[in-house]
Amino acid sequence: MARLRRLGESGMTVTELTVTASLLVVILAASYALYEFGNQATDRTMSRMESLDYARVIDTIAREIRQATPPADGESPILTCQARDIAFYLDVDNDGALERVHYWAQGKLVYRGVTEPSVPVAVPPSYAGQPEQTKVIVASVKGGWNGALFTYYDNAEPANTLNPSGKDRVSAVYIELQTQGKEPHATAPEVTKVSTYVKIRSVYNWLD
């Protein structure tokens, strides 16, 4: 039974202590729930923003592959067609000379490289001695993912998958990117898969 306090006596009764402790527990639980909710909302927002960024990257790669330009009539615009490495001719800066555009994955990074021709009027262009200007365009490729970033197809119906030796017959490219989010509060960051299929305009209609 709670006791009566005498005049001038300080302190709290057992009942008051119990009620105060219960209130503290409720407040702490509510605060933690709010904190976790905020973290999850932040992670979801970051994940959506990253997904949009990766979609824009894929769109950029697809647009440049679509516009790949052969150095001469009847020649392929593709220089390299590996599963995680593609290079092709493209007049990036609209100066009339074909640059060498290069995309490749290494570890958790995806790079874009551009090389200016050393002899612009040569057919095909020469890039001897020219440095490749590179930059990282994706920094969070899913760990352990070793799948194909690029898959190549010819102009047949249905299309046939091509190996690296078939670069002269490449008519379309399937691009797939798997990334792992950088959400700071997630125990298992969300995996995002972005993909698209693109036809090379300059060669799609004349390849057999």
114 within a domain of the structure (yes/no): yes
How many domains is the chain built from?
1
pLDDT at 189 over 80: no
Q: What's the pTM?
A: 0.74
207 within a domain of the structure (yes/no): no
The pLDDT tens digits of the residues spanning 61-95 come to 999 999 999 998 788 999 999 999 999 999 999 99
7 within a domain of the structure (yes/no): no
Structural domain of residue 78, as residue ranges? 31-199
Contact 138, 177 (CB under 8 A): yes
Rg (the chain; Cα; Å): 29
Q: Supply the pLDDT for residue 1.
A: 47
3-state helix, strand, coil in the chain (%, to 5): 30, 30, 45
Which letter does DSSP use for residue 164 in this model?
G
206 within a domain of the structure (yes/no): no
The pLDDT tens digits of the residues spanning 162-173 come to 998 889 999 999
